[in-house]
Amino acid sequence: MSAETELRQQIATMLDRHWVAEGYAAPNETVYPWQWLWDSCFHVLLWAELGWPDRAVTELTQCLSTQDPLGFVPHMNYQRDPAAHEDLWGRTGSSSITQPPMYGHAVAELLRQGIDVPESVVRAAVAGLRFLLEHRARDADSGLVLLCHPWESGADDSPRWDDTCPGGFAIERWRAFKRELVPRIERSPEGSPLFSPDFAVASVGFNALIAFNVAELASVHERLGEDIAPLVTAADELGDALARRWDADLVSWVDAGATAGGSGRYRTLDALLPLLVVAEEAQLDAGFESLVDPGAHGAAHGPTGVHRGEPMFEAHTYWRGPAWPQLSYLLWVAARRQGRSKVAASIGRSTTSGAAGSGLAEYWDADTAEGLGAVPQSWAGLVTLMTSP
């Protein structure tokens, strides 16, 4: 049996073991028993790849099942215990913030593979993106969509948010701030999060994922008719706004909003997600090169989460330097879609090595593959896609 086949079987066994009766794969059986939005969207891709299309559709349906009338999709679903953490969120059954809208990519990938997706699920994905583009507050200067909480970015403790921590970043202060921030978010009558006066950050990474997921849904436009057209226009405008946030000296995109002149300039892997949607060749060339440059993000076991030249780079610390498989996957997709096959192959090989060496960890040391966080974590299985033809 080849090493690749053995790893694929290991991933299939892990994902199957993490499946729960409520209809999703728990990211980790002990540490992360609930359903997280973008985790589940990545699991959908894995179920389809590994030959479980019914589970793919079930998990996608479940992660959109708590959507509210305005289109907002909570980032956590507490099907197994609806009262869990209601003291934090002020509601039962789900959280009160969102996460990167990877459901557009998930829907498109299933349809490309000929897997039937219920019309209600496709429409829910459109509505989720419409909420972000039409209802969420924008940064006045850049036009980019604002986050309401660092957890919405998916990059929970990214150095990009350091300026928002009262008194300067320190882990205990940061943890307290993240909890205190939730009830201060301004909401619609339905409870949808619209604006955070204490976290007015326009993340280039989050905006790139909005634009990317709209483009993915647009690629299956025959199911959507004219409903998607206004969203495509809005997403194209985001792409243009992102291109203007490029800093050639940093070789990175710079966040807008409250952190634009400070921590929003730190070079992190999430800041390179505009590679999914921008079209300027000079930006693409430099950005992709930084992913494989050993003096920047390049490493033996997947791109580092923080540029090695940043003073806060720490190889083992949560969001301060380790490799993250979901970001590696997205940048692998970007490299393939943007015609950088050598970069894609390099990211695929190194990330696969890291996932295997770490025991399919949540994240890992990019130089040694030492597993960090929860082990195993389901989204490490994304390397199955990165080794497919």
Helices 103-112 and 37-49 sit at what angle, rounded to 10 degrees? 10
What type of residue sits at position 251? V
Per-residue model confidence (pLDDT) at position 204:
98
Counting Cα atoms < 13 Å in the Cβ hemisphere of 246 gives: 21
Per-residue model confidence (pLDDT) at position 389:
59
Domain segments of the chain as ranges = 3-386
DSSP-derived secondary structure for 66-90: T--TT----SEE-TT-TTTTHHHHS
3-class DSSP state of 371: strand
Per-residue model confidence (pLDDT) at position 225:
63
3-class DSSP state of 194: strand
- pLDDT band at residue 387 using 50, 70 and 90 as cut-offs: confident
| DSSP single-letter state for residue 199 | -
* Alpha-carbon span 59 to 54, nearest angstrom: 9
Mean pLDDT of the chain: 96
User: Residue 221: what are its φ and ψ, rounded to 5°?
Assistant: -60, -20
Per-residue model confidence (pLDDT) at position 138:
98
User: CATH for 3-386, among 1.50.10.10, 3.40.50.12160, 3.40.50.1980, 3.10.20.30?
Assistant: 1.50.10.10
> ∠ CA 324-327-329 to the nearest 5 degrees?
105
* Alpha-carbon span 354 to 386, nearest angstrom: 12
Tokens of 190: 């339905």
| DSSP single-letter state for residue 147 | P
* Whole-prediction pTM: 0.98
Q: Is residue 101's pLDDT more than 90?
A: yes
What type of residue sits at position 3? A
- pLDDT band at residue 224 using 50, 70 and 90 as cut-offs: low
* Alpha-carbon span 25 to 331, nearest angstrom: 24
pLDDT tens across 118-162, in order?
999 999 999 999 999 999 999 999 999 999 999 999 999 999 999
* Alpha-carbon span 384 to 389, nearest angstrom: 10
Phi-psi region at 167: left, alpha or beta (left = phi > 0; alpha = psi -120 to 50): left
pLDDT tens across 313-364, in order?
999 999 999 999 999 999 999 999 999 999 999 999 999 999 999 999 999 9
Contact 331, 269 (CB under 8 A): yes
Helices 229-243 and 204-218 sit at what angle, rounded to 10 degrees? 140
